[in-house]
């Protein structure tokens, strides 16, 4: 399996010809990768934990939009807490030593959390679309109860979809193994196409369409403001809507660019019509690009909000219990 990678040894020497071969890394390289990938994992957990504490603690932040941010932060935190450590071990050691069941579970947990994260992104896009393009209808359309229902539905669909999609792998995780010490997941063309449509093409298209509409509305109303034209003459509602539009126009490019940079490389083989085998070292880089998006999400969706910066200050200085209002 790794004959062309230089010096190797068996993953399980006692199994002789039945064992996979492992790449022997220099000690300094092993330490470097452990520190680097562990740091990314810790940073992901910490950033998303700050988002969760901020939104959960301050009642003023219990808005429909922030409930979506909370759900996104939970999925991203679990990626940093459960998925990244496993992927770190898989990448650095190059041999799977946790057994067949953990191999299957690792993929199911990873895919489920990634699906939930993508679903939350789509829900956030819908929320921003309604808020900016239909500000007068927003309070009656996007309610907390509806958002809670959509979030629960998003997580339920993620569990159901990936459970059905990977049930064969869970029942027979060793099906595609060529030797002991291997943990791979193979998709044929049909499976890859289905996953491509439901996990990339569909969500990405929805986000692009919604945010494109948001962008044009925001630009139009920004021009109206500069020309002293009242687009929505309803006092404070108009001012609030226009401020939201300007913020959406400013962050639109970052949101779309980071999302596409994280997901496009991972789904390129499916886009090219190739079968997918998640085992090669090149896939490690693409997979970590995908997971690193969970570290960037709190920066993109939360660090641009002043309330989050104030919440971080209160949390870090241990004044969170003495401060009831951050707005």
> Quick one: which of 206, 314, 248 has its CA closest to 65?
248
Highest mean pLDDT among 60-64, 154-158, 205-209, 288-292: 154-158
pTM of the complete model: 0.83
Q: Can you give the residue range of the structural domain that contains 183?
A: 3-316
Q: What is the tally of structural domains in the chain?
A: 1
Joined tokens for residue 191: 């499976």
Residue with tokens 């971080």: 312
Residue 324 placed within a domain: no
Task: Give burial (CB, 10 Å; 0-12/13-18/19+) of 100.
Answer: middle
User: Mind listing the pLDDT tens digit for each residue in 164-192?
Assistant: 888 877 767 666 667 777 787 776 677 77
Joined tokens for residue 81: 């807490």
Residue 246 CA to residue 57 CA, distance in Å, equals: 28
Residue 184 placed within a domain: yes
Predicted confidence band at 324 (pLDDT cuts at 50, 70, 90)? low
> Quick one: which of 124, 184, 186 has its CA closest to 150?
124
Residue 321 placed within a domain: no
Residue 10 placed within a domain: yes
Least confident of 115-129, 260-274, 300-314: 260-274
pLDDT of residue 270: 60
pLDDT of residue 19: 76
User: Mind listing the pLDDT tens digit for each residue in 210-267?
Assistant: 888 887 887 776 677 666 544 445 444 455 445 554 564 465 557 667 877 787 777 7
Residue 327 CA to residue 69 CA, distance in Å, equals: 17
Residue with tokens 């500069």: 226
User: Mind listing the pLDDT tens digit for each residue in 31-89?
Assistant: 999 999 999 999 999 999 998 998 888 888 888 988 998 999 999 999 999 999 999 98
pLDDT of residue 79: 95
DSSP alpha helices (H): ranges in the chain? 27-57, 64-78, 84-93, 100-133, 138-141, 144-165, 167-171, 189-196, 202-226, 236-271, 281-301, 306-316
CATH number at residue 176: 1.20.1070.10
- What b/e string do you get for 113-145 counting C-beta neighbours within 10 Å, with b at 16 or more? bbbbbbbbbbbbbbbbbbbbbebeebeeebeee
Residue 134 placed within a domain: yes
DSSP 135-181: TTTHHHHS-HHHHHHHHHHHHHHHHHHHHHHTHHHHH-TTTT-SSBT
- Whether the pLDDT of residue 304 is over 90: the answer is no
Task: Give burial (CB, 10 Å; 0-12/13-18/19+) of 12.
Answer: middle
Residue 138 placed within a domain: yes
* Mean pLDDT, rounded, of the chain: 79
Residue 325 placed within a domain: no
For 231, the 3-state DSSP assignment is coil
pLDDT of residue 252: 54
Cross-strand bridge partners of residue 8: 23
The conformation of residue 279, written as its DSSP 8-state character, comes to T
Residue 230 placed within a domain: yes
């Amino acid at each position: 399996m790794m004959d062309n990678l230089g010096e190797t040894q068996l993953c399980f020497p006692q199994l002789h010809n039945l064992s996979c071969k492992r790449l022997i890394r220099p000690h300094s390289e092993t330490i470097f990768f452990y520190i680097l990938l562990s740091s990314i994992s810790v940073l992901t957990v910490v950033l998303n934990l700050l988002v969760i504490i901020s939104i959960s603690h301050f009642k003023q932040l219990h808005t429909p939009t922030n409930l979506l941010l909370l759900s996104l932060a939970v999925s991203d935190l679990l990626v940093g807490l459960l998925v990244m450590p496993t992927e770190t071990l898989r990448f650095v050691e190059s041999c799977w030593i946790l057994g067949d069941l953990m191999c299957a579970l690792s993929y199911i947990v990873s895919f489920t959390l990634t699906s939930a994260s993508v679903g939350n992104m789509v829900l956030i896009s819908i929320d921003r679309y309604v808020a900016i393009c239909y500000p007068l209808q927003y309070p009656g359309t996007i309610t907390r109860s509806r958002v809670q229902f959509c979030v629960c539905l998003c997580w339920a669909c993620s569990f159901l979809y990936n459970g059905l999609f990977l049930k064969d792998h869970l029942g027979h995780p060793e099906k595609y193994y060529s030797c002991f010490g291997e943990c791979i997941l193979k998709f044929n063309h049909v499976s890859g196409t289905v996953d491509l449509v439901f996990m990339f093409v569909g969500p990405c298209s929805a986000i692009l369409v919604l945010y494109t509409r948001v962008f044009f509305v925001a630009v139009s109303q920004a021009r109206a403001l500069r020309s002293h034209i009242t687009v929505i003459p309803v006092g404070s509602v108009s001012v609030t809507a226009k401020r939201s539009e300007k913020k959406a126009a400013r962050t639109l490019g970052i949101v779309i660019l980071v999302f596409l940079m994280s997901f496009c490389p991972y789904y390129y083989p499916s886009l090219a019509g190739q079968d997918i085998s998640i085992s090669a070292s090149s896939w490690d880089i693409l997979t970590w690009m995908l997971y690193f998006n969970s570290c960037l999400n709190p920066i993109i969706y939360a660090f641009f909000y002043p309330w989050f910066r104030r919440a971080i200050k209160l949390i870090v200085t241990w004044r969170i219990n003495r401060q009831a209002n951050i707005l």
